[in-house]
């Protein structure tokens, strides 16, 4: 079944979510993945923020209308 997936990270400086280029084909692939810690520049506050799995959110929208939303456990 076709779906559209997006991955977001939570900025540890300003608290906003922004999309990252890391892509997963399915929710299962996201849950089973190991993410190497990197940093990205937040488009809102322009500061570097760590990108770790616990700061990620995965959204999958299927053509049948089903939506999967998985959010890591993050702390500011």
Identify any residues that bridge with 8 across adjacent strands, giving them in sequence order.
19, 57
Q: Is the pTM of this model over 0.75?
A: yes
How far is Cα 7 from Cα 18, in angstroms, rounded to an integer? 8
How far is Cα 31 from Cα 43, in angstroms, rounded to an integer? 26
How far is Cα 49 from Cα 66, in angstroms, rounded to an integer? 31
Q: CA torsion 54→38→47→55, rounded to 10°?
A: -10
Residue 1 has pLDDT above 70, yes or no: no
pLDDT digits (tens, 9 = 90+) for 32-69: 888 888 999 999 999 999 998 889 999 988 888 888 88
pLDDT digits (tens, 9 = 90+) for 4-26: 899 999 999 999 999 998 888 88
Output the CA angle 51-56-57, nearest 5 degrees: 155
């Amino acid at each position: 079944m076709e779906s559209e997936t997006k991955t977001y990270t939570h900025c540890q400086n300003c608290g906003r979510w922004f999309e990252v280029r890391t892509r997963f084909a399915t929710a299962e692939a996201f849950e089973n993945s190991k993410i190497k810690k990197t940093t990205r520049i937040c488009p809102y506050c322009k500061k570097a923020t760590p990108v770790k799995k616990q700061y990620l959110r995965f959204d999958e929208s299927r053509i049948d209308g089903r939506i999967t939303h998985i959010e890591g456990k993050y702390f500011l």
